[in-house]
């Protein structure tokens, strides 16, 4: 009730929720009390939680922040939603995001932008901007997010939170509305690495309903938080500290890394030579996959349908013209172009080849080091409206986060100070399925 009250009082200004579900929250909280009384409390028993409105939730609107799904009530729960409910979590509601998770500022949402609780004139980051702002403003103790190119880590950085993108395949994508299927991964957003460990425990694991989910045992993350960092090697990619990085962020990240050195870690300069190709590579692959995934929104089966279609073509055309926002249309056009006969080899195949080189950079780096560290973002939270008219500047927001998705690796962002009253994020990148190592390394610093 305290969180529901806080949402009532403060969210008109922040706009972090698209849908608040007080009746459901109170019913789930009462069920949690009953389970606890019977000695059957799950790991998240009674924990209030907000879900990014990209996770399907049975009987509750799942909009993906699009006019296209403004009226869509999912007939089933995403696996993540089911697992967290089974662990006893209490869902407060569904959080705002960039439309179909396409963006870095939460400004492409059909439901309006989200404000950064640290500075209401600034964006919270995106696309999981509603989740980040809700937790930062104290409207929820924790939230789920998804990360296709940085959408958990970048808003976590801009809002002063810890957010983890797990290894591709660690968390089921079933019921998570697809943006770019080979890159999308759900994960936790909370204040600390310890909180993220508890949340990831409930989210992770094999799911037969997601053919890309990995059939691997899930370690006990919380019991592995106390890590000895003596002798571990942290690689600092020289490409992540060059031109374009805000100097206050560079200084704060170096100061945090100096703390790691004092904890016994060795800092090693490394190179990820294909870094500059990550953004262009992503902006071929992600739109290509999106153009295919979003073809299901045709006005026939579910979601928005235009009024009085003349014929089937008119139904498709006007439904999509009226239902999708500008950024989503831009991605569909770019993706369709990249996949079209005659351009496929020049764009899509080339991007896949570059993706392999980017992955190989990390494979080579992890022969020398245990973790890779650097800034999460090149700049702190920027002004609302500042980058909306320039998509390329907006795309560069994810310059340090995108390569991780192309390589499928786990990575987290955690708070590492402030500049001008705005939070700064430190990014730690780990080896495949070493979420435990990442969370431990972050916990030690925190």
Q: Confirm or reject binding of residue 150 to ligand GLN (CB under 6 A).
A: yes
Judged by CB under 6 A, does residue 325 bind ligand GLN?
A: no
CA dihedral 140, 58, 148, 222 (to 10 degrees): 50
> Active site residue: 104, 109, 127, 172, which one?
127
How is 203-229 classified by DSSP, letter by letter? HBS--TT-TTS---PPP-TGGG-----
Rule CB under 6 A: say whether 103 interacts with ligand GLN. Answer: yes
127: cis peptide before it, omega within 30°? yes
Site for ligand GLN, residues 256 to 315, rule: CB under 6 A = 286
151 labelled catalytic: yes
Closest distance of CB 259 from ligand GLN, Å: 28
Task: Give the count of beta carbons closer than 10 Å to the beta carbon of residue 309.
Answer: 15
Using the rule CB under 6 A, give the single segment among 2-10, 147-155, 191-199, 212-220 that binds ligand GLN.
Answer: 147-155
In sequence order, what are the residues at sequence separation of 6 or more whose Cβ sits closer than 8 angstroms to the Cβ of residue 446?
162, 192, 193, 194, 414
Q: Is 144 in the site for ligand GLN (CB under 6 A)?
A: no
> What residues contact residue 110 under an 8 Å CB cut-off, 6+ apart?
63, 65, 66, 67, 70, 99, 325
Q: Which of 105, 131, 151, 413 is catalytic?
A: 151
CB of 179 to ligand GLN, least distance (A): 6
Residue 124 sits in the site that holds ligand GLN (CB under 6 A): no
Which member of 147, 195, 210, 434 binds ligand GLN (CB under 6 A)?
Answer: 147
Cβ neighbours, 10 Å, residue 147: 30
Asked if residue 106 binds ligand GLN (CB under 6 A), the reply is no
Nearer to ligand GLN, 21 or 108 (CB): 108
Quick one: which of 101, 158, 171, 354 contacts ligand GLN (CB under 6 A)?
101
Does residue 166 belong to the site contacting ligand GLN (CB under 6 A)?
no
- 254 contact partners, CB below 8 Å, separation of at least 6: none
Q: CB 154 → ligand GLN: shortest distance, Å?
A: 7
Of the residues 63, 66, 79, 148, which one makes contact with ligand GLN according to CB under 6 A: 148
Q: What is the DSSP string of 90-110?
A: EEEEEE--SGGG--SSS-S-T
Is residue 422 part of the annotated active site? The answer reads no
Q: Is 398 in the site for ligand GLN (CB under 6 A)?
A: yes
Q: Is 332 in the site for ligand GLN (CB under 6 A)?
A: no
Q: Which is nearer to ligand GLN, 3 or 395 (CB)?
A: 395
Nearer to ligand GLN, 64 or 225 (CB): 64
Contact between 189 and ligand GLN (CB under 6 A)?
no
Q: Helix, strand, coil shares of the chain as percentages rounded to 5?
A: 40, 15, 40
H or E segment and range at residue 28: helix 22-37
Is 340 marked active-site?
no
- Rounded to whole angstroms, the Cα distance separating 199 from 47 reads 10
Q: Tell me the three-class secondary structure of 271-306, residue by residue.
A: CCCCHHHHHHHHHHHHHHHHHHHHHHCCCCCCCCCC
Residue 175: CB minimum distance to ligand GLN, A: 16
Point out which residues bind ligand GLN (CB under 6 A): 101-104, 127, 147-151, 179, 286, 398
Active site residues: 52, 127, 151
């Amino acid at each position: 009730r305290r969180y529901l009250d806080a949402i009532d009082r403060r969210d008109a200004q922040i706009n972090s929720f698209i849908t608040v579900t007080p009746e459901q929250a109170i019913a789930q909280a009462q069920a949690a009390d009953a389970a606890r009384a019977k000695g059957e409390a799950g790991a998240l028993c009674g924990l209030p939680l907000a879900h990014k409105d990209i996770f399907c939730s049975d009987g509750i609107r799942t909009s993906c922040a699009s006019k296209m799904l403004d009226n869509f009530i999912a007939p089933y729960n995403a696996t993540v939603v089911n697992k967290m409910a089974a662990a006893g979590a209490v869902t407060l509601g569904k959080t705002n995001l960039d439309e179909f998770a396409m963006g870095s500022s939460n400004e492409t949402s059909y439901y309006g932008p989200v404000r950064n609780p640290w500075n209401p004139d600034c964006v919270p980051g995106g696309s999981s901007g509603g989740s980040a702002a809700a937790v930062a403003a104290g409207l929820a103790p924790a939230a789920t997010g998804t990360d296709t190119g940085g959408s958990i880590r970048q808003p976590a950085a801009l809002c002063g939170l810890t957010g983890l993108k797990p290894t591709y395949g660690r968390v089921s994508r079933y019921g998570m509305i697809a943006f770019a299927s080979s890159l999308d991964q759900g994960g936790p957003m909370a204040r600390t690495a310890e909180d993220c460990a508890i949340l990831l425990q409930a989210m992770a694991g094999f799911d037969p309903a997601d053919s890309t989910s990995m059939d691997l045992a899930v370690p006990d993350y919380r019991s592995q938080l106390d890590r000895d960092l003596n002798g571990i090697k942290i690689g600092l990619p020289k490409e992540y500290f060059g031109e374009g990085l805000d100097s206050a962020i560079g200084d704060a990240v170096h100061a945090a890394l100096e703390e790691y050195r004092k904890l016994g870690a060795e800092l090693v300069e490394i190179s990820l030579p294909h870094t500059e190709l990550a953004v262009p590579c992503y902006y071929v692959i992600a739109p290509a996959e999106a153009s295919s995934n979003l073809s299901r929104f045709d006005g026939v089966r579910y979601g928005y349908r235009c009024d009085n279609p003349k014929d089937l073509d008119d139904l498709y055309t006007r439904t999509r013209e009226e239902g999708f926002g500008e950024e989503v249309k831009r991605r569909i056009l770019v993706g369709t172009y990249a996949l079209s006969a005659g351009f496929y080899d020049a764009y899509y195949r080339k991007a896949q080849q570059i993706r392999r080189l980017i992955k190989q950079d990390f494979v080579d780096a992890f022969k020398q080091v245990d973790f890779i560290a650097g800034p999460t973002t090149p700049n702190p939270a920027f002004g609302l409206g500042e980058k909306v008219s320039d998509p390329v500047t907006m795309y560069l927001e994810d310059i340090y986060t995108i390569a991780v998705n192309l390589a499928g690796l786990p990575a987290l962002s955690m708070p590492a100070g402030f500049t001008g009253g705005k939070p700064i994020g430190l990014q730690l990148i780990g080896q495949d399925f070493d979420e435990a190592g990442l969370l431990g390394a972050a916990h030690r610093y925190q």
